[in-house]
Amino acid sequence: KTRGIRFEERKQLATIVKTYDLPSIDLEIYFDYDSDKVTARARPDLVELGKALRNDALKDAVFMVSGHTDAAGSDDYNLDLSERRARSVTSFLIDTFGISKDRLIAVGYGEEQLKTPQMPEAAENRRVTVVNMSK
């Protein structure tokens, strides 16, 4: 349903975001343990995001939706879980707001970019980042 990204392109995208200082938003999208399903608790934030993405000023913009996990679990498991969660968020935006799948790139980073590295298993590391790639 969403335009995915190959494994080797993840680091290149991260470099582009840092190099060009692209605008991004950290969202704390909550998921149940070992789940990639959007919860009722996460819906209000995603509804606001969907409304923003439908704004005329952003109608042609492309967004990278990056999933992140905490450090609990293996690297491979966390990478897979983060990718599934990013796809879940992009699917929600497509299904609920009619955002074109061509405007959303789902990518998972697992535990590579911890928000709070000094607390690697903290809940705030489990998040989704949305980056406007059309600066």
Tokens at residue 113, please?
């970019």
- Token code pair at residue 29: 């999208």
DSSP 61-105: --EEEEE---SSS-HHHHHHHHHHHHHHHHHHHHHHH---GGGEE
Straight-line distance from the first to the last Cα atom of the chain, in angstroms, rounded to the nearest whole number: 25
- pLDDT (tens digit, 9 = 90+) per residue, 4-55? 455 566 666 666 656 655 556 667 777 776 788 898 988 999 999 999 899 8
Q: What is the model's pLDDT at position 30?
A: 73
Q: Rounded distance, CA 125 to CA 42, Å?
A: 15
- CA 122 to CA 65: how far, in whole Å? 21
The dihedral of CA 12, 16, 18, 23: what is its sign?
Answer: negative
Q: What is the average per-residue pLDDT within 102-114?
A: 91
pTM listed for this prediction: 0.80
- What's residue 6's pLDDT? 57
Does residue 119 carry a pLDDT above 60?
yes
- Per-residue pLDDT at 29: 77
Which is nearest to 68 in space by CA: 13, 104, 7, 26?
26
Q: What value does the mean pLDDT take over residues 127-134? A: 84
The pLDDT of residue 129: 85
Q: Are 89 and 29 in contact (CB under 8 A)?
A: yes
pLDDT tens for each residue of 75-98: 999 999 999 999 999 999 999 999
Pull the structure tokens for residue 75: 């690297």
